[in-house]
A and B are shown apart, each in its own frame.
Chain A
Amino acid sequence: MPDTVPAGNDAGGAGATVLLKDVSFGYERRRTILSGIDMSVPRGKVVAIMGGSGCGKTTILRLIGGQLRPQRGQVLVDGRDVASLEREELFAMRRKIGMLFQMGALFTDMSVFENIAFPLREHTELPEELIRDLVLMKLNAVGLRGAAGLTPSELSGGMARRVALARAIALDPMLVMYDEPFAGLDPISLGIVGQLIRRLNDALGITSVVVTHDIYESLKIVDYIYFVSEGRIVSRGTPAEVRASSEAFVRQFVDGAADGPVPFHYPARPLGEDFARAA
């Protein structure tokens, strides 16, 4: 597996929709969540960020979306430094970004139809007939046109994720970010959501960043994968390179091994020392 990113994912950033340069972040000064992250998401590609729970994957999405600001380094979206944007500029940038949250984050006091119409009504002056047509088109793209009248509480987990996906693409964004899109789904829903991510990316010409720990589904649909552990990028490569990799971290992740570079035990004193204290 290459140490440096291949041409398509050149950290120099030519043609990159998202570029992270030496990004470090921590919620508190002393506790670092991300350290020295270099990442490039080329236009039109589906890039996965993988790693165990709590390794900082979602934090990367929040940095890209401007919900957090890096302590060091730069986050560039479409060539603009997110941290330097004024509030209005940041909101203008977000109109070009769709995001699918882990549990969908659908508005529970609105119907499926209203959820998808929400960004259209907030950001456009389109007549109601056109909004209706657009919403039905987006729902049709995710196979849920017939569910327009349902409320979020009537949807299964997979359907909720698909509705959230339709809402994420409502404004025809240039970039869609997915936060754990496969979490908690049955195999059929998982396959549907995976295929939708790939199909919509290619059909609409958007760029996708998928944060996940589902290695098998990701290998089927993404163009490039970054592995994050303890706030650092520990490996990267195309799906073929990942499958062939002999790197210990990647092997542990792909094989689902309990112990390895990511230890089974949480850091603790030696066992004998603990028993001696109790005695």
Chain B
Amino acid sequence: MRPDSVAWALRRVGRATLGSVERLGFAARFSVAVLVHSPAALRRLSLTLREIYFSGVLSLVIILVSGLFVGMVLALQGYDVLTRYGANESLGVLVALSLVRELGPVVAGLLFASRAGSAITAEIGLMKTTEQLSAMEMMAVDPLARVVAPRFFGGIVSMPLLAALFSTLGIFGAYLVGVKLIGIDAGSFWGNMQSAVDFRYDIVNGIIKSIVFGVAVSLIAVFEGYNARPTAAGVSTATTRTVVASSLSILALDFVLTVFMFRGVGA
């Protein structure tokens, strides 16, 4: 290899490393700034409510329909396996624990990232491209307080509610398949579920997970939008990054949270 090729390769590696470190530093500073401005979102309650509507209410269709079908499929698959062990009366428990602990927060989080996260990034990115953020700055209005904080806060509020609705519809879907279609006794379906699902251990941990996912997805979405290159391609790239980074973050965070929350299992 020629020396100038080595130098060229080293320069590229160096530039990429510096770029990554710079981006990481900017992301950290941005996150702190967003957290500092979050109280502003509470003061501008109408803006935050509007964002809850856009992130939460407009995501309802995809969340409810997905939850219903996931619950129905879970019931069919679960019944097939449980019947082999003569435990088909535990279908309600299986479905409820799967949804409340894992599938509810994770799948709702992934759907939330695709539906609301990408929309938040695209909206902020386009506002940047069309100089709306600059115009706001020049009008002495801080875009972090006016644009970013309400969207961030709206995402945090919406995500646990959507995850709860996802789990609820999932359980209802399982009820339709298990009790109404297959014919499992309704009393044992609900009774076993009620006795096996612990509020603190299962439901609260599920809610904590969905809040953490809400923070992660909202933060990534607003950061990617704010940091997007002000071009059509830049906004498109930022939107894709939001979905990819949010999805990977949800899966990684889920593993970490599960390790801490359910470490007593099997002990």
Residue numbers of A with Cβ under 8 A of B are 65, 67, 91-92, 94-95, 97, 99, 101-103, 105-108, 118-119, 122-123
Near A by CB (< 8 A), chain B positions 131-167 give 131-132, 134-135, 137-142, 146
The answer to whether A103 and B131 touch across the interface, beta carbons within 8 angstroms, is yes
Chain B, residue nearest A118 (CB):
B139
- Taking the nearest CB of chain A, how far is it from the CB of B46, in angstroms? 11
| Given contact pairs A105-B130, A105-B132, A108-B132, A99 touches B138 in the complex (Cβ within 8 A) | yes
Number of interface residues of B (CB under 8 A): 14
Rounded to whole Å, the gap between the CB of A185 and the closest CB of chain B is: 17
Q: Which 5 A-B pairs have the closest CB atoms?
A: A105-B135, A94-B140, A105-B131, A91-B140, A99-B138
- CB contacts (< 8 Å) of B134 on chain A: these are 67, 101, 105
- Taking CB atoms, residues of chain B closer than 8 Å to A123 are 140
| Residues of B68-105 contacting chain A, CB below 8 A | none
Contacts of B141 in A (CB 8 A): 118-119, 122
**A164 to B192 alpha-carbon distance, docked (Å):** 64
Partner of B140, one of A95, A105, A106, A107: A95
Residues on A with beta carbons closer than 8 Å to the beta carbon of B131? 101-103, 105
In the assembly, what is the distance between CA of A92 and CA of B140, in Å?
7
Given contacts A99-B135, A102-B131, 20 further A-B contacts (CB under 8 A): A67-B134, A67-B137, A91-B140, A92-B140, A94-B137, A94-B138, A95-B139, A95-B140, A101-B131, A101-B134, A101-B135, A103-B130, A105-B131, A105-B135, A106-B132, A107-B132, A108-B130, A122-B140, A122-B141, A122-B146
List, sorted by A's number, 14 A–B pairs whose CB atoms are closer than 8 Å.
Answer: A67-B138, A91-B142, A94-B138, A95-B140, A101-B134, A103-B130, A105-B134, A108-B127, A108-B130, A108-B132, A119-B139, A119-B141, A122-B141, A123-B140
Which of chain B's residues have a CB closer than 8 A to the CB of A94? 137-140
A95 neighbours in B (Cβ, 8 Å): 139-140
Q: When each residue 207-246 of chain B gets 1 if its CB lies under 8 Å from chain A and 0 otherwise, what string results?
A: 0000000000000000000000000000000000000000
A103 to B126, CA, bound (A): 13
Write out the residue numbers on chain B whose beta carbons fall within 8 Å of the beta carbon of A97. Answer: 138
The CA of A91 and the CA of B137, in the complex, are separated in Å by 8
**A95, A105, A108, A122, most chain B CB atoms within 10 A:** A105
Alpha-carbon distance A65/B139, docked complex (angstroms): 10
Q: Which of B127, B140, B141, B146 has the most CB of A within 10 A?
A: B140
> Whole-angstrom distance between the alpha carbons of A200 and B176 in the complex?
69
- What separation, in Å, do the CA atoms of A95 and B139 have in the docked complex? 6
List B contacts of A65 (CB < 8 A). 138
Residues of chain B with a CB closer than 8 A to A107's CB: 132, 135
Q: How far is the CB of A65 from chain B (nearest CB, A)?
A: 5
Which residues on the A side are within 8 Å of B132 (C-beta)?
Answer: 105-108
Which chain A residue lies CB-closest to B139? A119
What separation, in Å, do the CA atoms of A119 and B141 have in the docked complex? 8
Contacts of A92 in B (CB 8 A): 140
Could you tell me the distance in whole angstroms from the C-beta of B116 to the nearest C-beta in chain A? 16
Nearest B residue to A95 via CB reads B140
Residues of A close to B146: CB separation below 8 A? 122
Q: State A101–B130 Cα separation when bound (angstroms).
A: 9
Inter-chain contacts of B142 with A (CB < 8 A): 91
The complex places the Cα of A108 from the Cα of B136 at a distance, in Å, of 13
Please, which residue of chain B has its CB at the minimum distance from the CB of A107? Answer: B132
Using Cβ atoms and an 8 Å threshold, which residues of chain B touch A67? 134, 137-138
Q: How many angstroms from the CA of A153 to the CA of B138 in the assembled complex?
A: 22
CA distance A106 to B131 in the complex (A): 9
A102 to B131, CA, bound (A): 9
* Chain B residues positioned under 8 Å from A101 (CB to CB): 131, 134-135
When chains A and B are docked, how far (Å) is the Cα of A100 from the Cα of B77? 61
Q: Please, which residue of chain A has its CB at the minimum distance from the CB of B142?
A: A91
State in angstroms the CA–CA spacing of A122 and B140 once bound together. Answer: 9
Beta-carbon contact of A122 and B139 below 8 Å:
yes
Residues of A within 8 A of B137 (CB): 67, 94
A92 to B142, CA, bound (A): 12
Kindly provide the distance from the CB of B150 to the nearest chain A CB, expressed in whole angstroms.
Answer: 12
Min CB–CB distance A91 → chain B (angstroms): 4
- Separation of A135 and B100 alpha carbons in the complex (Å): 52
Q: Which residues of chain B are near A118, meaning CB under 8 Å?
A: 139, 141
Contacts of B130 in A (CB 8 A): 103, 105, 108
| Chain A min CB distance to B14 (Å) | 16
Residues of B within 8 A of A102 (CB): 131
Please report the C-alpha to C-alpha distance between residue A265 and residue B135 in the assembled complex, in whole angstroms: 35
In the complex, A105 Cα to B137 Cα: how many Å? 12
Q: Mark B109-141, 1 if CB is under 8 A from A, else 0.
A: 000000000000000001100111011011111
Whole-angstrom distance between the Cβ of A261 and the nearest chain B Cβ: 31
**Cα distance, A92 to B141, chains bound together (Å):** 10
Residues of chain A within 8 A of B138, CB atoms compared? 65, 67, 94, 97, 99
Report the Cα distance A97→B135, complex, angstroms.
11
Bound form: Cα–Cα A67–B133 in Å? 12
A72 to B131 CA separation, bound complex (whole angstroms)? 27
